[in-house]
Every structure is written in C-alpha cells, then in structure tokens.
Amino acid sequence: MGADKRRLGLGIDTGGTYTDAAIVDLESKEVVAKAKAPTTYQDLSQGLVQAVEAATSQGGFEPSEVRLVGLSTTLATNSLLQGKGGAVGLIGIGWRPEPDWQLGASRAKFIVGGHDMRGRPLAPLDMREAEAAVDEACVDMDAMVVSSFFSVVNPQHEEALRRMIHEKKGLPVVTGHELTAELGILERTVTAVLNARLLPIIDEFLRGVEASIAGRGISAPIMVFRGDGTLMNLRKARERPVETILSGPAASLMGGMALSRKDRCIVVDIGGTSTDIAYLDQGFPRLGKEGAVVGQWRTRVRAIDIWTAGLGGDSRLDVNAGRLVIGPDRVLPLEVACAENPGLVQRMRDSGELEFLVAFPRDPSRLPENEMKVFQAISEHGPMTLRELVDSLEGLYLAPDYVKRLKAKSYLISTGLTPTDVLHVAGVYQHGAREAAELGVEIVSTRNGMNKQEFVATFWRTMGARVAEELLKKAVLDASGEVPTGKAAEFLLDAITGMAQANGIDVACRLDRPVVGIGAPAHVYVPLVESLLGAKVIVPPDHDVGNAVGAVCSMVAESVEVQIHKRDNTFFVYVPDKEPIEVERLEQALYAAKEGATAYVSKKVEEAGGKDISVLLEVEMKKCRTGVRTSREILNWVEVRARATGKPTIVDRGSKD
C-alpha cells in the first residue's frame, strides 16, 4: 500500500495579512487541504505554525505522503524595509564609494587591488593592508562582505580575503561575485551587504519552520521560493536570503498558473494589503530588466516583473471631491477592530469617528524613547484617536510624526472603512463584527449625501474600475516602457473603465490573454474587469490559497549571461567564477562560452536542490554599422545566455514507508 501513496506537497505563504498553508497533490495540482492564520508580524513563525497545524489536522492524508515543503515569505522584504538585520562590515577592494552612495554596512574599509574588465589585476593585493582592514572592519560584526572591482570577471582578491576572515575571525563572509554575474559595483555591493544583514534573521526563521514541520510528523525536504519564481533548498536559502525578495508575489504568479492550467496569462493577486499583477509567457514569468528594488535599495537580485498597487481588502475607503477613493493606505477593517475591541462600536456611534490607533503585540524595547512612549500609551489604553493620544502625552509635541514612523515599522495601524467592511454590508462576506461594518458605511455615506445602497453600488463600480486601471497601467508599461501619466492618460483610463464619459469617441480596450484571479477576494473583484477590458476572467478553485499552492508548484532554475569580446586578434570569454578565457577564433570562443555557461547554471541548479536538469542556450551577436555611404556590419560583442531548470528533489519512498 505504501508504494501507492500520493505524492503531496505542503505549500506555505506568509503574506501581508494572512499566512496560508495548502496541501497539494503534486501530480494533479489539486488542493487536498488548506487553512489560513493571521500573519504575526512580531514573529512570523507563530502564524506559520497556526496555519500549518490547521491544514495538517484536517485529515484525508498521512504526514508521510508529504514529499516536499515549499515556503514563500515576506521576511526578507519586511526586514530590509524596517531596517532590521545583523551588523555587517564591508571591505572594498580596488574602488571607493561616491559621496552619495548608501552601502548599508555598519563599518567599511577600502584597500588597493581589484581587476580590470579583462580580469587583469589593477594592483597587487597588499596582504598587510588587507590584514589591517580585516582587524578593523570585523570588530563587533555579525557578518562580513568583501566586494572587489570586476570580481565577476576575476574573483581572486575576494576569495583571498574570504579565507583570511574565516581563518582570523570565524565570521560568515558574503562576496560580491557569488550573488550575481552582472556588472555594477554599487548594486553588487549593496546586494551582498543586504544578504549579509539577513543571514541571522533567515537562519532563526528557518529553524522555527523546520521545528514546526517536524513537529507535524513531516520529514520532507523544505524548499524556499525565490523572487524569480523558482525554488532553492534550505542550505542555499541560508546562504542567499536576499534572493527571497518578492517571493510572495512570485508564488502567486506560479500558483495562478498551476490552478488555472494557463501558461500564458495575466495573474492578478488581490490580498489584504495590495494587488500584484504579473505576466506569464509560455510558463515563464517576465523578469525585471533591473534588479529588485526594496525601499531605498536597488539590488542585483533577479525577480519577477511585478506591478504592485495599494489596493486590497484592507485599503482605506474615503470620498474626495465627490469621488470614492480606494487606497493606497492600509487600515484595520472596522469589522476586525470591533470584534477584538467590542466597546469600539459605541465609541464610533457616539463620536462619528472611524479612525482609531491600534498597537500590534510587539516588543518595543528597541524603539527610540519617544516612539516607545507613543507605542506604550496606545498598547495600555486600547484604541485611541490621534487627539486622545496627543492629550494623554503632554509635552510630546511631535506625537503625529512618531505615529507615522511606528506605522511604517508595523508597530501601529489605524482603523478605517475598507472593502472588506463593504462586503459585509453587501452580504458577500461574514467574519467579524457586521454591526461595525454597517455603522462605518452609514457614517461615510451620510457624510457624502448617499444612502447605504448608493454607496455600495458606487463601491462596486469603483473597485472594478480600479482593478481594470491597474491592469491597463501594467499592460501599457510593458508595451511602451512608460507608465501612462498626465491628464490625457488619466482621462483615457477613466473612459475605458467607465469612470468618465468620452463625448465624441467610443473608447474600448481588449487584453490579449486571460486574466487569472488569485487571493481570498479574487472571486468577488476580478470578474468585474471582464466586461471593461474584454478579457476572459478565470478564478480557479482554491484561489484563496494560490500563493501557498505556487510555493510548492515550481521548478529550480538558474540563468547566466556569458559575454565574448574581441580585442585586436583575440577573443575573450568571460565566464563567472573563472579567469577570462583567451582564444583566437570565434568558433572556439562560442564553444567555450556555451560549455562554461552550461556548466555554471547546471552546478547552480544542482546546489539549489534540482535534479533532471535541462539547459536552454541562446546566442545573440551584437553588431554595429560603420561608415555612412558604404556601411558594413562588424561584430561588437556576443552574448551567450543559458537557463537551466530542474525538478525539486522530493522524498520518494518505497513500499516499506
């Protein structure tokens, strides 16, 4: 009987509002069990444990049937946005930062060395200078970064300092060339520093994940979702946590493909905090041309090309100049806030006020003194209006500014009327305190000269238009390279989405592929765009846990670009982790580039936990024209691109299982 057991996967996604868990049949992609739990910002593993326990306790399968665990997490993104992480020292070799460069390191030293674009030393590495830099830069650091000029061409100096730091200090070391093969010393260094800052955070989190999974009797390997829509094993995730940036949106994209069975589509993931939109072409996500951006940091992390809008179930609803505005601010829905604080409904009724400050259950010990005072006041006295807070903190004149900072750090949130509350009033969704939702709609609609029915009808029309508008912005951006802006663009978007009358012209639009809805409210909101954009809308079963499904339904993949340059009569081949290869003929260079690229990506996929590896090679000749009257093409350089994909390694048990 054991040999006939199903091959199941456990997918987990820690989203901005909820943590989802789904048990998925890896062959049919059908969901066997699923569950949600509130995301616990103070400790993501708590919400994860709750979701996993709820999903695995439903029965219908045995823990031994789970052969693979996939995890997508907001931990890296949130940690970097909130300035969390370990203390990181930096040693730069052969370069110095510009005055306006922000590198993210706690301490930095710069020494001579580095290489040129052909891999030749700019200067010998002075080992005495290097040793002194190590002694100074490593003091009180949790990890170190070594970033050398043109190390993607020749990493010798980075590797020499890595060995020295390991031997002398025993600290973990991240080198610039190991995370990306792309040029750009600033972005490459920032990527390495951010990765080093995340090392202790991701390690602690993954230990908690391992313990919770083992506690449910599951012994399957755990894979972590990358921001480019692929998987990596725990060892690689601990080494390269920065690659989990945007893993949540990437998981929703792959989950949309798995559940809809469509490999060419637009996936719209509507969550509590935001709406993410991304394209799939023949089963591959479109990747951003530049590296992923997190807050102020531009990295060299490969990630899906995602369009994110502040539009979700928890978006603030307000009326401005007679027009309903949805988002971009996130607030705590009234139905949730009043379910947790029953006395709040009467306070809303008495005051007509909908915005109260609520504290998340977090440890404030690392906050600055005044921010801590604000946080503790709200924690101790329960939901408070901003006026009540200011009155309670005499002499703290900048309390509103501290509130903004605490909101940005996810210590505080305001209550407010949201789409989730309107769904209560419309009878579509029932979860918390419906009385609070009804009262919120009544207060806002009365203020603006509407009754409840008119307000709800306006909401449906506006929500459909907003989702359609974001889809159009993404489509125009992908086609033209620019976001539609200005009054004319706004008018056309409003005319297409039915929010404005276009006298004299009949404006219409049709998307070229189906729209797949993912996320808990997708079945309510995404179908609203079908008539507006002439698109087929698919909201598959189990769309509410699409991110968790995607977290376990993907491939292990790596890609690289190898360049060939000709100088004089010699061709130079630049393969990552190798010194430049010099040959005399183009055929030899192409052979070396293909062999090097194939070996590089195959090794990376194997290290990340992939098997049954296949490699796709593309060659592009970059030519230019010379002269005007008698122009001819000459070879400028050659790009050889390799993409390797492999299946994640899963537990295959025999009949003794």
* Chain position carrying tokens 């010379």: 626
C-alpha neighbours within 13 Å on the C-beta side of residue 183: 11
For 655, the token pair is 């009949």
Judge whether residue 252 has pLDDT over 60.
yes
For 143, the token pair is 């990890």
Domain assignment present for residue 593? The answer is yes
Residue 148 near residue 94 (C-beta atoms within 8 A): yes
Last residue of a domain, one of 195, 225, 257: 195
* Chain position carrying tokens 């907003």: 466
- For residue 656, the model assigns a pLDDT of 33
Last residue of a domain, one of 195, 216, 250: 195
Residue 305 φ/ψ, nearest 5 degrees: -80, 95
304 bridge partner residues: 287
Number of domains in the chain: 2
Q: What is the DSSP string of 552-605?
A: HS--EEEEEEEEEEEETTEEEEE-TTSPPEEESSHHHHHHHHHHHHHHHHHHHH
Segment 366-381 mean pLDDT: 91
- For residue 23, the model assigns a pLDDT of 95
Distance, CA of 22 to CA of 178 (rounded, Å): 33
Helix, strand, or coil here: 136? helix
- For residue 43, the model assigns a pLDDT of 75
Distance, CA of 415 to CA of 279 (rounded, Å): 34
- For residue 273, the model assigns a pLDDT of 80
Band (pLDDT 50/70/90 cuts) for residue 176 is very high
- Give the number of other Cβ atoms within 10 Å of residue 655's Cβ: 9
Domain assignment present for residue 126? The answer is yes
Nearest CA to 298 among 188, 407, 158, 376? 188
For 652, the token pair is 């295959």
Q: Considering the chain, what is the average pLDDT of its residues?
A: 88
Window from 20-24, 341-345, 496-500 with minimum mean pLDDT: 496-500
Distance, CA of 413 to CA of 384 (rounded, Å): 11
Residue 587 φ/ψ, nearest 5 degrees: -60, -40
- For residue 627, the model assigns a pLDDT of 52
Contacts of 122 (CB under 8 A, 6+ apart): 94, 112, 113, 114, 115, 116, 149
First to last CA, the chain: 9
Q: How far is CA 552 from the centre of its chain?
A: 16
Judge whether residue 2 has pLDDT over 60.
no
- For residue 567, the model assigns a pLDDT of 83
Band (pLDDT 50/70/90 cuts) for residue 631 is low
Domain assignment present for residue 207? The answer is no
Angle among Cα 44, 72, 288 to the nearest 5 degrees reads: 125
Judge whether residue 149 has pLDDT over 90.
yes
Percent with pLDDT over 70 in the chain: 97
Q: pLDDT of 7-47, one tens digit each?
A: 899 999 987 778 999 999 988 889 999 999 988 866 777 88
Distance, CA of 241 to CA of 195 (rounded, Å): 6
Angle among Cα 35, 343, 311 to the nearest 5 degrees reads: 45
Distance, CA of 355 to CA of 334 (rounded, Å): 9
* Chain position carrying tokens 């994909």: 645
Distance, CA of 393 to CA of 327 (rounded, Å): 30
Residue 247 near residue 225 (C-beta atoms within 8 A): yes
Last residue of a domain, one of 169, 195, 221: 195
Window from 49-58, 206-215, 620-629 with minimum mean pLDDT: 620-629
Distance, CA of 118 to CA of 5 (rounded, Å): 55
331-366 exposure pattern, b = at least 16 Cβ within 10 A, e = fewer: bbbbbbbbbebeebbeebeeeeebebbbbbebebee
Window from 78-82, 393-397, 649-653 with minimum mean pLDDT: 649-653
Distance, CA of 550 to CA of 257 (rounded, Å): 8
- For residue 655, the model assigns a pLDDT of 31
Domain assignment present for residue 601? The answer is yes
Distance, CA of 185 to CA of 150 (rounded, Å): 8
* Chain position carrying tokens 């890296």: 76
Helix, strand, or coil here: 337? helix
Q: Residue 248: which region, alpha, beta or left (left: phi > 0; alpha: psi -120 to 50)?
A: alpha
Domain assignment present for residue 599? The answer is yes
Distance, CA of 92 to CA of 145 (rounded, Å): 8
Domain assignment present for residue 502? The answer is no
Contacts 24+ apart (CB under 8 A), 613-621: 613/644, 613/645, 613/646, 614/644, 614/645, 614/646, 615/642, 615/643, 615/644, 616/642, 616/643, 616/644, 616/645, 617/641, 617/642, 618/642, 619/590, 619/594
Segment 111-125 mean pLDDT: 89
- For residue 516, the model assigns a pLDDT of 97
Q: pLDDT of 427-442, one tens digit each?
A: 887 777 889 999 999 9
Domain assignment present for residue 20? The answer is no
Which helix H or strand E contains 532, and what residues bound it? helix 530-533
Judge whether residue 251 has pLDDT over 50.
yes
Domain assignment present for residue 140? The answer is yes
Distance, CA of 572 to CA of 638 (rounded, Å): 10
Domain that holds residue 153: 88-195
Segment 266-285 mean pLDDT: 88
Judge whether residue 173 has pLDDT over 70.
yes
